[in-house]
Amino acid sequence: MREMAFASRIAFGAISIAMMLIAGGLIVFAGIQLAAVFWTPESSIGAQLLDSVGYAIIAVAVFEVAKYIFEEEVLNPTEMRHAGEARRSMTKFISTIAIAVFLEALVAIFQTAKEDVANMLYPTLLLFAGVTLIVGLGAYQRLSASAERQVHASPKASADERADLAKHSKD
C-alpha cells in the first residue's frame, strides 16, 4: 500500500511540475509575442496586448491548478479529515478558477467588441459560467458549513473527529 501511495505522489508531482513548466512557457510566449509586436510596424498593438493578457490569464490558471495538485497530492497527500478543511481547500481552488474565467471573459469581451459585436455570445456565456461558479461555490459553502455545524453539535461525532485529528496529527 505504501508503494502505491509513493508512486501516486511521484506521478502527481511530475504532472504538477509539467503543468508549471507549461504555464511558464505560456508566459514566455506571451512576452515574445508582445516584444515582437513592437518590432513589426504593421501589427496591431491592441490585439496583441489582449492576446498576451489572455495567455497570461491561462498561464496563471494552469499554474494555480498545478500548485493545488502539488500541495494536496504531493506535499500533504492525506485525506482531508474534516469538513472545514475540505471547504477551505475547495473554496481557494474554485475562487482561483472563477477569477481566471472572469478575466478571460473580460478579454474576450474587449476583443469581440473591437471585431464583431454580433459574436458576443461566447463572452456572455463565459461570464455566465463565472457567475455560475461563484453561485455554486456559495451554495457549497452554505451546505458544507451547515453540515459542519451539525457534526459539531453531535457530541459523539465531535469526539470522533477530535480523536481522528489527534491520531493523524501524530503521523
At 54-104, the pLDDT tens digits run: 888 889 889 988 998 888 888 876 665 566 777 787 888 888 888 888 988
Are both 67 and 135 inside the same structural domain?
A: no
- How confident is residue 171, by pLDDT bands cut at 50, 70 and 90? very low
Say what the pTM is: 0.68
Are both 19 and 85 inside the same structural domain?
A: no
- Which residue, 49, 77, 105, sits at the end of a domain? 77
Are both 151 and 86 inside the same structural domain?
A: yes
The number of domains in the chain is: 2
- pLDDT of 114 reads 81
- Residues 54, 57, 61, CA angle at the centre, nearest 5°? 140
Nearest to 105 by CA among 86, 124, 91, 131: 124
Are both 71 and 85 inside the same structural domain?
A: no
Nearest to 89 by CA among 46, 49, 137: 137
- Which residue, 77, 106, 133, sits at the end of a domain? 77
Range of the domain at 166: 81-171
- Which residue, 25, 49, 77, sits at the end of a domain? 77
